Amino acid sequence: VKKNPAEPEFHQAVKEVLESLRAVVDANEEKFRKEGLLERLVEPDRQIKFRVPWVDDNGNVQVNTGYRVQFNNAIGPYKGGLRLHPSVNLGIIKFLGFEQIFKNSLTGLPIGGGKGGSDFDPKGKSDREVLAFCTSFITELYKYIGADVDVPAGDIGTGAREIGYMYGQYKKITGSYEGVLTGKGLTFGGSLARTEATGYGLLYLTEEMLKCNGKDIKGKIVTVSGSGNVAIYAIQKAHQLGAKCVTCSDSNGWVYDPDGIDVEALKEIKEVKRERLTEYKKYRPNSEYHEGRGVWTVKCDVALPCATQNELLLEDAKVLVANGCIAVAEGANMPTTLDATEYLQKNGVMFAPGKAANAGGVATSALEMTQNSERLSWTFEEVDSKLKQIMVNIFHNLDDAAKRYNAEGNYVVGANIAGFEKVANAMLAQGIW
Q: Which residue ranges make up the site for ligand NDP (CB under 6 A)? A: 154-157, 198, 226-231, 250-252, 306-308, 311, 331-333, 358, 361
Using only the alpha carbons of the chain, give its radius of gyration.
Answer: 21
Q: Three-class SS of residue 173? A: helix
Candidates 2, 15, 31, 115; catalytic one: 115
Q: Three-class SS of residue 250? A: coil
Smallest distance, ligand NDP to C-beta of residue 87, A: 6
Closest to 369 measured CA to CA, from 183, 230, 196, 115: 183
Q: Is 267 annotated as a binding residue?
A: no
Q: CB–CB of 147/372 below 8 Å?
A: yes
Q: Which CB, 40 or 267, lies closer to ligand NDP?
A: 267
Q: Is 365 annotated as a binding residue?
A: yes
Q: Is 229 annotated as a binding residue?
A: yes
Q: Is 154 annotated as a binding residue?
A: yes
Q: Is 198 annotated as a binding residue?
A: yes
β-pair partners for 244: 221
Smallest distance, ligand NDP to C-beta of residue 157, A: 5
Q: Which CB, 97 or 331, lies closer to ligand NDP?
A: 331
Smallest distance, ligand NDP to C-beta of residue 429, A: 28
Q: CB–CB of 120/133 below 8 Å?
A: yes
Q: CB–CB of 404/421 below 8 Å?
A: no
Smallest distance, ligand NDP to C-beta of residue 123, A: 6
Cβ-defined contacts of 206-209 (< 8 Å, 24+): 206/302, 206/304, 206/327, 206/329, 206/352, 206/357, 207/241, 208/391, 208/392, 208/395, 208/396, 209/327, 209/329, 209/350, 209/352, 209/395, 209/411
Active site residue 346: no
Q: What is the rounded CA–CA span in Å between residue 201 and residue 384? A: 9
Binding-site residue numbers for substrate are 79, 100, 103, 154, 365
Binding-site residue numbers for NAD(+) are 198, 229
Catalytic residues: 115
